[in-house]
Amino acid sequence: MRLKILSVGRDRADPAAPMVADYCARISRFLPIEEIVLKADREDRIAARMLAEKKRGCLLVALDERGRELDTLAFARLVEKWMGGGVLAVTFAVGGADGHAPAVREGADLVLALSRMTLPHRLARLLLAEQVYRALCVARGVPYQK
């Protein structure tokens, strides 16, 4: 299974970018991962780019505070189910400063909340990367290094 984190923002101006890169490097020990930061653009263009992931055969997970909340173990079980269930690719979509267009939330295979609180997209990327790494550690029975 391949993973992708697709987000909107400016990577160079993101103070969390080095930490996201560190977690992506850790994740890559388990699964291939790609992080793509889309330049802020019109909402319809960003939505089209994110929804295009489904056409590429990816399971699309939109991060949104109105989505389904999972604890760490439930998320790890979900990731494990994807890995064992023939899912070839998962794209996690992190919206920009205004969140996702309704079309992205409606078109996603899963809308997932990291928190009920609204998070800055930079922080959401970091929390997502950390939770994916933690879920893979749990799923593979590897001790999580704090």
Q: Over the stretch 104-133, which tens digit does the pLDDT of each residue have?
A: 999 999 999 999 988 888 899 999 999 999
Q: For the chain, report the end-to-end CA distance as a whole number of angstroms.
A: 25
Indicate if the alpha-carbon torsion angle 8, 145, 134, 57 is positive or negative.
positive
Q: What average pLDDT does range 28-51 have in this prediction?
A: 93
**Which residues, in sequence order, are CB contacts of 32 under 8 Å at separation 6+?**
2, 3
Give the Å distances, CA to CA, from 89 to 9, 59, 118, 140.
23, 6, 27, 18
pLDDT score, position 40: 83
Rounded to 5°, the CA angle 29-130-136 comes to 45
Q: Over the stretch 56-82, which tens digit does the pLDDT of each residue have?
A: 989 999 999 999 999 999 999 999 999
Quote the CA–CA distance of 128 and 48 in Å, as a whole number: 22
Residue 145 clears pLDDT 70, i.e. is over it: no
When pLDDT is cut at 50, 70 and 90, the band that residue 92 belongs to is very high
Residue 146 clears pLDDT 80, i.e. is over it: no
Nearest to 28 by CA among 128, 131, 126, 133: 133
Where is average pLDDT lowest: 7-21, 42-56, 69-83, 93-107?
Answer: 7-21
| Burial annotation 17-40 (CB, 10 A radius, 16+ → b, else e) | beebeebbebbeebbebebebbee
Q: Over the stretch 45-56, which tens digit does the pLDDT of each residue have?
A: 999 999 999 989
Structure tokens at 42: 């019109």
Question: Domain locations in the chain?
Answer: 2-110+118-140
pTM of the predicted model, to two decimals?
0.93
Among the four given CATH numbers 3.40.1280.10, 3.40.50.150, 3.40.250.10, 3.40.640.10, the one describing domain 2-110+118-140: 3.40.1280.10
